[in-house]
């Protein structure tokens, strides 16, 4: 295999790892947002019941 092919495959491998990292980060952020949203909704509904 040519040196340029090896460099290309290494670059693809690094980019794939970065994309995977960003995807997992985005999924964690989405999960946190969903949790906070649920908590806020629960709090709102509790306050609404008190009124």
> Cα dihedral sign for 7, 13, 14, 16?
positive
Q: Is residue 28 part of a domain?
A: yes
User: What range defines the domain where residue 43 resides?
Assistant: 24-51
Structure tokens at 18: 């970065």
Euclidean distance between CA atoms 35 and 22, whole angstroms? 20
Half-sphere exposure (Cβ direction) of 28: Cα atoms closer than 13 Å: 6
Q: Is residue 11 part of a domain?
A: no
- Domain count along the chain: 1
Q: Is residue 18 part of a domain?
A: no
Position 1 scores a pLDDT of: 79
What's the predicted TM-score (pTM) here? 0.70
Q: Is residue 7 part of a domain?
A: no
Position 9 scores a pLDDT of: 94
Q: Is residue 41 part of a domain?
A: yes
Position 44 scores a pLDDT of: 97
Per-residue pLDDT of the chain (51 residues; tens, 9 = 90+): 799 999 999 999 999 999 999 999 999 999 999 999 999 999 999 999 998
Position 43 scores a pLDDT of: 97
Q: What is the DSSP letter of 12?
A: H
Among 10, 12, 31, smallest CA distance to 20 is for 12
Q: Is residue 29 part of a domain?
A: yes
């Amino acid at each position: 295999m040519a040196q340029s092919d090896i460099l290309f495959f290494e670059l693809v491998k690094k980019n794939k790892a970065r994309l995977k990292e960003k995807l997992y980060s985005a999924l964690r952020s989405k999960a946190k947002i969903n949790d906070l949203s649920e908590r806020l909704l629960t709090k709102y509904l509790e306050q609404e019941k008190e009124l």
